[in-house]
Amino acid sequence: MKGNMFVSFTCIIFSCVWTAAVNAKQETWRSDLSDAIQIGVSSEGFSRAVVDCGDQEMAFVISLDEEFDGVLYTRGSFSSKNTNCFRKANGGKDFALKFSYNECGVKFDAAAGGDTTTVIVQFDDDLIFPGDLAFAIICNRTAPRLDDDNDEESDLPMRSRITLVAADPGAQETGSAAVTSSSTSQVATLYPPEPKSHQEL
């Protein structure tokens, strides 16, 4: 324990941020790009993104505007090909990832209010670029089921939430300007901030 604390402390003093960024994204992130390009939060290229908080599994579903042949994965799972956490697309616009609460980087985050992981929608097979999408998805598994008795829905706590975040793991938190959708039911649906004229739902 003391050893761990000392290591953590040392890490904070020297290079915690750098280490975290490299660890999280060592497969796709190149440090030479990080100086040159601000990835930021992208909200373009999709018409709808959904988190579905099931009893045993959480699912992420996205409808993209264009044919997609990139990759979809939970942050930290880029190299775990052929698992529930990674999917290579070969055309099509609608994609889903479904995984249980003990895989794909899912962690309980008390501050966020539930079990959470981040899904990256990356247009290039290997590298993160500006325009890539990322979504933090959260499931509050202690929240009551709507169908139990839902006459007073407005008093119910958040059960599912999906928030646009930066694809770059080293980016700052987006804060209060975040584009987010919360629901008291199992499913939360996020639409892009500006309605698109060609949106098809």
Question: Which residues make up the interface to ligand NAG (CB under 6 A)?
Answer: 113, 140, 142-144, 157-158
What does the chain look like in DSSP terms, one character per residue? -HHHHHHHHHHHHHTHHHHHHHHHHTTT--HHHHHH--------SEEEEEEEE-SSEEEEEEEESS---SEEEETT-TT-TTSTTEEE--S-SEEEEEEETTSTT-EEETTTTEEEEEEEEESSSS---TT-EEEEEEE-TTSPPTTT--TTGGGSPP-EEEEEE-SSTTSPP-GGG--EEEESSSEEEE--SS--TT---
Give the residue closest to ligand NAG by C-beta: 113
Nearest approach, Cβ of residue 114 and ligand NAG (Å): 6
Considering the complex, state which of residue 89 and residue 143 has its C-beta at the smaller distance from ligand NAG. Answer: 143
Considering the complex, state which of residue 144 and residue 193 has its C-beta at the smaller distance from ligand NAG. Answer: 144
Nearest approach, Cβ of residue 156 and ligand NAG (Å): 8
Considering the complex, state which of residue 143 and residue 164 has its C-beta at the smaller distance from ligand NAG. Answer: 143
Nearest approach, Cβ of residue 67 and ligand NAG (Å): 37
Considering the complex, state which of residue 81 and residue 141 has its C-beta at the smaller distance from ligand NAG. Answer: 141
Nearest approach, Cβ of residue 25 and ligand NAG (Å): 27
